[in-house]
Chains A and B, each alone.
Chain A
Amino acid sequence: MDIEDVHKNTKLLINNIPYNVDEAEFVKPGKGRAIYRLKLRNLIEDTIIERTFHSGEKVEEAHTSNYEMQYLYKEGDHYVFMNTETFEQHFLSEENIGDKKYFLKEGTVVNITMLGDKPIGVVIPNFVELAVKESEVSTRTDTISAQTKSAVLETGYTIAVPPFIKSGDILKIDTRTGTYVERISTKK
């Protein structure tokens, strides 16, 4: 495609790596050549690079699509997902998933981004519910810093929670910030 047709959120393939155009800035001296400054997010590693293009240049569009898949289980350092319509299984490496692994619970339905027939990333819901595996017992003497304490969730994620949270409680977590939202239920 022509660089002129690239917009915010266009997906490009550069050196075989898929990028999302996070920002596209158009600058042009009145009589001069148009310059396109792109902020590109690597869709596999989630890193940002900046690239400058000039009018007349061609770029390759990356054709990506999202499919609803259920996270089944982890096998070695691969995460196994199943397309909920076709029941096909797909694999994503731990590296592809990054920190999102802390919010993936077996059975959760997520969106998997595919480049052709290759899965390249996972889009998780904004909120997930996870159980507390272990949590410190808050002590009455610890009054100054007792606004929060740390807890470890079933996915191995360590999070700051209010002092009343107990092991076995189900918590609502905001995956965008990685923070505690509220307690959904508590173990009787």
Chain B
Amino acid sequence: MTYDKEDEGYRLARIKPNLERRALINELTRKFFREQGFQEVETPIRIPAVAPELHIVPFNTEDWLLSTSPELHMKRLLAAGYNKLFQISRCFRKGERGRWHNPEFTMLEWYRAGADYMDMVHDTEQLVVTLADRLGLGSTIQYKGHKIDLAPPWPKITVRDAFLHAAGWNPVAAPDPLRFDDDLVGKVIPGFALSQPTVLYDYPALLASLARLKPDNPAVAERTEIFIGGLELANAYSELRDTPEQTRRFQMEIEKIQQERRQKMAMPTRFLQAIAHLPECGGIALGMDRLVMLFCNADSIDEVVAFTMDTA
């Protein structure tokens, strides 16, 4: 996507307040996690294998890849006994460019031993209200003409109920991934109230990705996503610790990628060996650019990043 040209000096002066706030949000985020006893870690950006996912396309760099998420390496640290860790890192996803996307973006991920996916939602509630408060915004923010009340607990709805209500079908009973994506962005998300964040949870088992299935209902996975102001902000799991099951899922994705994208993906073998030692844990990935957009009342990622792929 290309955007209308604007003088660079003028553009950078215009978004300076947003970039100042962005720096403050980074600082306050680190402070929040340190106060909660999390260790900040750094994992490599250039890696031999990413988690194979049909709709996430990595960039090649020589014969390795640019990281699409720090997830696999962070879980390898968890498996080695690092119990609470967080990272703010750059991730790269090919072809993702739009008002809410830039192929290079910033992800905040954190993992906690002994936690499940709903504990990660709780952490996010605490993080977001703490940031809003320390930014001097109180617990209510203005975003694109709407007042959003950030006070927890945030309303929660299952994928099943949200789809039945907004799209008239149940994706848990009758999985259809293509229709799922269309209706999610076309009907379900636009139907969420803008006055509060929304927590969408219990995804169909077919869309489990790296989440464990619900022990008392294996038709769904313990996966949840958080939406604020219409933006998909974060994705959390109760992490899968079953090496054969994770291997099987990756194998399926690798075959689909081979068929649809004509690309050979390497199996992340070191990760698969490590998760046998993973403690019961929850993990979450949160889009920092979008969090900054929310706190800056910015309509586009271009307003919170100094140089995007169109201006770099």
Contacts and interface: CB of A to CB of B under 8 A. Distances in A.
B98 A25 contact: yes
Contacts of A7: 1-2
Nearest to B287: A30
A128 interface: no
Contact of A26 (B2, B96, B225, B260): B96
Given A7-B1, A8-B2, A34 B99 contact: no
B124 to A, nearest CB: 15
Contacts of A35: 181-182, 185
A14 interface: no
B76 interface: no
A54 B235 CA distance: 22
A32 B95 contact: no
Interface size class of A (residues with CB under 8 A): 10 to 19
B209 interface: yes
A33 interface: yes
Interface string B212-247: 000000000000010000001001000000000000
B180 interface: yes
B38 to A, nearest CB: 23
A32 B177 CA distance: 8
**Prevailing SS type, chain A contact patch:** loop
A28 B1 contact: no
A128 B43 CA distance: 63
A33 B181 contact: yes
A54 B95 CA distance: 12
Contact of A30 (B95, B177, B235, B260): B235
B182 A28 contact: no
Contact of A31 (B55, B96, B100): B55
Interface string B1-22: 1100000000000000000000
B55 A28 contact: yes
B207 interface: yes
A31 B180 CA distance: 11
Interface string B96-112: 11111100000000000
Interface in A4-54: 4, 7-8, 24-35, 52, 54
A34 B1 contact: no
Given A29-B184, A35-B185, A56 B97 contact: no
A55 interface: yes
Contact of A28 (B53, B98, B225, B235): B98
B193 interface: no
B225 A30 contact: yes
A29 B225 CA distance: 10
Given A7-B1, A56-B260, A32 B97 contact: no
B209 A54 contact: no
B99 A26 contact: yes
Interface in A103-143: none
A40 to B, nearest CB: 16
Among A24, A29, A35, A55, max chain B CB count under 10 A is at: A29
Interface of B: 1-2, 53-56, 95-101, 177-178, 180-182, 184-185, 207, 209, 225, 232, 235, 260-261
20 contacts: A7-B1, A25-B99, A26-B99, A27-B98, A27-B100, A28-B98, A28-B185, A29-B181, A29-B184, A30-B232, A31-B53, A31-B55, A31-B56, A31-B207, A31-B235, A32-B55, A32-B185, A33-B54, A33-B178, A52-B182
